[in-house]
Structure 1
Amino acid sequence: MPEAIDLTVEFGDVREEEQLDWSKLVAYLRDQQLPGADAPMTVKQFRGGSSNLTYLLRFGDREWVVRRPPFGPLPVGGHDMSREYRVLSRLWEVFKPAPRGMFFSDDVSIIGAPFFVMERRTGIVIKNRQPLPPELGNDPATFRAMSEGFIETLGDLHGVDYKAIGLETLGKPDGFLKRQITGWMARWEKAKTREVPLMEKLGAWFLDNMPLSPPPVLVHNDFYLHNVMIGAVNHGEIVGVFDWEMSTIGDPLVDLGIVMNYWRDQNDPPELLGTSQGEAHTLRPGFLTRDELLHRYSTRTGRDVSAMPYYWAWAHWKTATVVEQIYVRYVRGQTTDPRFALMGPMAPALALAAAQVASRLGFKPWL
Structure 2
Amino acid sequence: MSEQTREAGPVLTERPDGRDVAATAEEAARMPVPPLLVLDAVTAFLDERGLGDGPVEWARIGDGQSNATFLLRRGGVEAVLRRGPRPPLPPSAHDMLREARIQLLLRDAGASVAEVLAVCEDPEPLGVPFYLMRRLHGDVITDEVPARFDTARDRRGVAEAAVDALAALHAIDVREGPLAGYGRPEGYLERQVSRFAGLWGKVSRRELPLVGELAERLAATMPATQRHALVHGDFRLGNLMFGTGRRPEVAAVLDWELSTLGDPLADLGYLVATWSEASGGVPTTMELSPVTARPGFLDRAGLAERYERLTGADASRLGWYRALALWKSAVFSEAIYTRWLDGERPDDTTFAPGLEAGVPRLLEVAAEALAER
The question of a shared fold, defined as TM-score above 0.5 by the shorter chain, is answered with yes
**2: CA distance between counterparts of 1:81 and 1:155?**
25
1:115-163 deviation per Cα after TM superposition (whole angstroms, max 9, x unaligned): 1111111111124xxx414535641111100000001100000011235
From 167, 176, 179, the equivalent of 1:155 is 167
Q: How far has the Cα of 1:305 moved from its partner?
A: 1.3
Q: Does 1:199 align with 2:208?
A: no
Q: Distance in 1 between matches of 2:108 and 2:145?
A: 30
- Say which SS state the counterpart of residue 206 (structure 2) adopts: coil
**Among residues 50, 54, 59, which one is paired with 2:65 in the alignment?**
50
Q: Which residue of 2 aligns with 1:30?
A: 47
1:179 corresponds, among 183, 191, 208, to 191
Q: Any gaps of 5 or more consecutive residues in structure 2?
A: 1-5, 22-36
What secondary structure sits across from 1:118 in the alignment?
strand
CA distance in structure 2 between the partners assigned to 1:278 and 1:153 by the alignment: 18
Match of 2:103 in 1: 88
Q: Structure 1 247/277 Cα, relative in aligned 2: closer, same or farther at 3 Å? A: closer
Over the aligned positions, Cα root-mean-square deviation in angstroms equals: 2.3
Of 166-175 and 113-122, the range deviating more from structure 2: 166-175
Q: Sequence identity, in percent?
A: 33
Match of 2:299 among 289, 297, 303: 289
Rounded to whole Å, the distance in 2 between the matches of 1:221 and 1:135 is 30
Gaps of 5+ in 1: 1-6, 362-367
Q: Which has the higher contact order (CA 8 A, sep 6+)?
A: 1
Structure 2 residue aligned with 1:314, among 305, 324, 339?
324
Count, aligned residues = 347
Match of 1:18?
Answer: 20
8 Å CA contact 2:113–2:252 kept in 1: the answer is yes
- 1:223 and 2:235 correspond: yes
Q: CA deviation at 1:173?
A: 0.7
Question: What are the residue-to-residue correspondences of 1:41-80 with 2, within 5 Å?
Answer: 41-80=56-95
| Contact 1:11–1:47 (Cα < 8 Å) also in 2 | no
Q: Secondary structure at the match of 2:100?
A: helix
Distance 2:264 2:284 in 1: 28
Instruction: Give the letter for the 2:365 counterpart.
Output: A
Whether contact under 8 Å (2:319, 2:372) holds in the other structure is yes
SS at 1:315 equivalent: helix
For normalisation by structure 1, the TM-score amounts to 0.88
Match of 1:126 in 2: 141
> 1:21 and 1:266, CA in 2 relative to 1: closer, same or farther beyond 3 A?
closer
Q: Which amino acid aligns with 2:63?
A: G
Aligned position for 2:256: 244
Residue 183 of structure 1: CA displacement? Answer: 1.0
TM-superposed CA distance for 1:311, in Å, is: 0.7
Query: C-alpha displacement at 1:201, in angstroms?
Result: 0.2
| Native 8 Å contact 2:156 2:296 kept in 1 | yes
Query: Offset at 1:279?
Result: 7.8
Summarize deviations over 1:16-63 as a string: whole Å, max 9, x none.
4322222122212221233xx234321111142212111111012320
